[in-house]
């Protein structure tokens, strides 16, 4: 068995979901996503047992493009993140009715397929294809099943699509250029290239444009808050939980090792951009009136810190970034799910009109509180491990980076707790708030369990990712 099995399961799942009809679609989709999760756990076992689970087949002879999937520890960690979040996201949608549900769930699985492919691909062009393919389902999910005014939604979604496509097309040009130099798109051949400093700078920037828009890093973030707000919650979860990790992962996998000279030379600029995102995101989040928008900006802040961590080019920075990518993936999905649970009952996301939920639903309140605390990186949660490692690596570069990056914890605690206070506490609301249902509870508990378990015991993940991060760092430091 090799990693292509998961891709096949997800792709077949997408078609099976579409043809199973509106009624069964959600269950079929859940089944296939669970199958993919099971399969990836088996693969993880095999990988740890030392089995080779990578694939390489030639696909197009001229230009030479191969169907190469490489599973090292880093890729497997991201694969597991995708495989674990997809069923949670699908399951979380069970309380909602969607028009044309078969297409909706088929698109979710298709997107999971494309994102998994992006994490695994070891051939530049194959990677690019998966990268672009992931864009199409989310476009339709946000456009058709989104909420809010149709015209504004259309504008937000088209802006998002054109932005991301524009960024990635420059990455394509960079890949073609690299191909002319290396004669192959395979990642190990691209790693071996000896490019001049000028070439590296241009390639670095072309990649940066693609990733900065996807992640998003300031000043390429303008699409984000609107799309997060307008997309259906499932789409927001996919975007913030997994898709933006594609950008961060690609920085580590492609951008830094291919253009290490440029990365070292201009490291400070990119760390500053990341930290600027932290501060900007936190300050803007303070002023948000819409719950989903607040979460969008808080996500911008956290992701800025992760990006800063990746650009430190130290093993701690990279490890912290990957840990935080996984932790943030779970926590942000949980938070958006909490917003969705509130919306299901009150049909509003405006913070001012909420309040007094605590007295009516103790279970929901405690779950939400744990998520909020995790997101502000309280010790013993997974996020603490990630953010702390990143901050530590930043302090080694320059103490001021760590000081300003650390504002994410202070400001984050301020706006998240203030939000919690306004939404959950206060006067008892006249409207009835039913406590979480079994379905809702299962997803929430799964997320919280992951966050707390790895908060206490992150070693399995660190052990998994560290060897591959060290390999990548060796490539970065080779010349």
Partner 1 sequence: MNTLIAITGLGIFCLLFEILNFRKGIVPFTILGLLGVLALNYYEFGSTASYYNNMIVVSKFSTAFSSLFIILTIFLVALSHNFYENHQTKISDYIAIKVFLLAGAVAMVSFGNLAMFFLGIEILSIALYILAASDRLNIKSNEAGMKYFLMGSFASGIILFGICLIYGAMGTFDVTEIYESSLSAELPIWFPIGMVLMTIGMFFKIAAVPFHFWAPDVYEGSPALTTALMSTLAKVVAVATLYKLVAGLNLIPSLENQDLLGTFEHIIVIISIASMTVGNIMALRQVNVKRMLAFSGISHAGFMLMTFLTIATSAGVLLYYAAAYALAGIAAFSVILYVCKNQDNEDITNFHGLGKTNPLLAAILTGSLLSMAGIPIFSGFFAKLFLFSQTIQSGYIALVIVAVINSIISVGYYFKLILAMYSKEPNEERTGKPFLIYAVAVVSITLNIVLGLFPSLVLDLLN
Q: Which residues bind partner 1 (CB under 8 A)?
A: 60-63, 103, 125, 128-129, 132-133, 135-136, 140, 143-144, 150, 153-154, 158, 161-162, 165-166, 169-170, 172-173, 176-177, 179-180
- Closer to partner 1 at the Cβ: 103 or 313? 103
Contact by Cβ (8 Å): 386, 327: yes
Q: Please give the structure tokens belonging to residue 213.
A: 């828009």
Q: How far is the CB of 161 from partner 1 (least distance, A)?
A: 7
Q: Work out how close the CB of 131 gets to partner 1 at its nearest, in angstroms, rounded to a whole number.
A: 8
The CA distance from 469 to 257, in Å, is: 11
Closest contact distance (angstroms) between CB of 246 and partner 1 is 15
In order, the DSSP letters of 113-151 are HHHHHHHHB-BHHHHHHHHHHTHHHHHHHHHHH--S-HH
By beta-carbon proximity to partner 1, the closer residue of 185 and 401 is: 185
User: CA 252 → CA 11, 180, 195, 336, 408, distances in Å?
Assistant: 27, 23, 18, 27, 22
Question: Which residue, 137 or 320, is less far from partner 1 as judged by CB?
Answer: 137
Q: How far is the CB of 348 from partner 1 (least distance, A)?
A: 23
Minimum CB–partner distance for residue 414 and partner 1 (Å): 38
Paired tokens of 470 = 């060290």
Select 195 or 313, whichever has its Cβ closest to partner 1: 195
CB of residue 162 vs partner 1: minimum separation in angstroms?
A: 6
Spatial contact of 232 and 146, defined as CB atoms under 8 Å apart = yes
The three-class DSSP label of residue 290 is strand
What is the secondary structure of 32-81 as a DSSP string? HHHHHHHHHHHHHHHHHTT----EEEEEETTTTEEEEE---HHHHHHHHH
Distance CA 202, CA 186 (A): 20
- Going from the C-alpha of 4 to that of each of 11, 54, 68, the distances in angstroms are 11, 8, 9
Closer residue to partner 1 (CB): 118 or 443: 118
Question: How far apart, in whole angstroms, are the C-alpha atoms of residue 385 and residue 212?
Answer: 24
Give the whole-angstrom CA distance, residue 433 versus residue 415. 24
**189 is written with which tokens?**
């051949």
Nearest residue (CB) to partner 1, 7 versus 475: 7
Residue with Cβ nearer partner 1 (145 or 384): 145
Q: How far is the CB of 411 from partner 1 (least distance, A)?
A: 36
The least CB distance from residue 130 to partner 1, in Å, is 8
Q: How many CA atoms lie within 13 A of 127 on its CB side?
A: 27
Residue 19 or 453: the one with the smaller Cβ distance to partner 1 is: 19
């Amino acid at each position: 068995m090799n990693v292509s099995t998961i891709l096949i399961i997800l792709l077949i799942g997408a078609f099976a979901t579409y043809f199973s009809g509106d009624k069964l679609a959600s269950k079929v989709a859940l089944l296939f996503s669970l199958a993919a999760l099971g399969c990836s756990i088996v693969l993880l076992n095999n990988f740890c047992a030392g089995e080779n689970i990578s694939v390489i087949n030639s696909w197009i002879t001229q230009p030479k493009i191969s169907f190469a999937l490489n599973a090292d520890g880093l890729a497997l960690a991201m694969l597991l993140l995708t495989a674990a979040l997809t069923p949670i996201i699908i399951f979380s949608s069970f309380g909602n009715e969607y028009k044309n549900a078969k297409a909706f769930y088929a698109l979710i699985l298709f997107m999971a397929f494309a994102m998994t492919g992006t994490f695994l691909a070891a051939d530049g062009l194959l990677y690019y294809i998966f990268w672009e393919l992931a864009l199409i389902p989310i476009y339709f999910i946000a456009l058709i099943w989104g909420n809010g005014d149709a015209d504004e939604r259309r504008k937000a979604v088209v802006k998002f699509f054109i932005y991301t496509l524009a960024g990635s097309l420059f990455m394509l040009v960079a890949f073609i250029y690299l191909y002319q130099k290396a004669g192959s798109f395979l990642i190990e051949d691209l790693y071996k290239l000896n490019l001049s400093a000028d070439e590296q700078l241009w390639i670095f920037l072309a990649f940066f444009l693609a990733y900065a828009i996807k992640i998003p890093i300031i000043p390429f973030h303008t699409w984000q808050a609107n799309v997060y707000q307008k997309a259906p919650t499932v789409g927001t979860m996919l975007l913030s939980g997994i898709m933006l990790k594609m950008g961060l992962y690609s920085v580590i996998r492609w951008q830094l090792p291919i253009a290490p000279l440029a990365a070292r030379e201009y490291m400070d600029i990119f760390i500053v951009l990341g930290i600027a995102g932290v501060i900007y995101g936190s300050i803007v989040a303070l002023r948000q009136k819409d719950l989903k928008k607040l979460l969008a900006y808080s996500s911008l802040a956290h992701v800025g810190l992760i990006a800063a961590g990746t650009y430190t080019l130290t093993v701690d920075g990279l490890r912290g970034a990957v840990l935080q990518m996984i932790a943030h993936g779970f926590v942000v999905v949980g938070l958006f799910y909490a917003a969705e649970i509130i919306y299901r009952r009150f049909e509003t996301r405006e913070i001012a009109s909420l309040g007094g939920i605590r007295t009516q639903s103790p279970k929901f309140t405690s779950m939400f509180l744990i998520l909020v605390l995790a997101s502000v990186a309280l010790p013993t949660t997974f996020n603490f491990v990630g953010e702390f490692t990143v901050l530590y690596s930043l302090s080694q570069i320059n103490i001021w980076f760590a000081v300003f990056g650390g504002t994410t914890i202070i400001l984050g605690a301020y706006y998240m707790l203030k939000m919690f206070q306004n939404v959950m506490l206060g006067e008892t609301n006249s409207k009835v708030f039913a406590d979480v249902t079994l379905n809702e509870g299962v997803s929430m508990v799964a997320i919280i369990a992951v966050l707390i378990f790895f908060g206490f015991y992150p070693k399995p993940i660190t052990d998994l990712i560290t060897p591959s991060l060290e390999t990548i760092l060796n490539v970065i430091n080779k010349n």
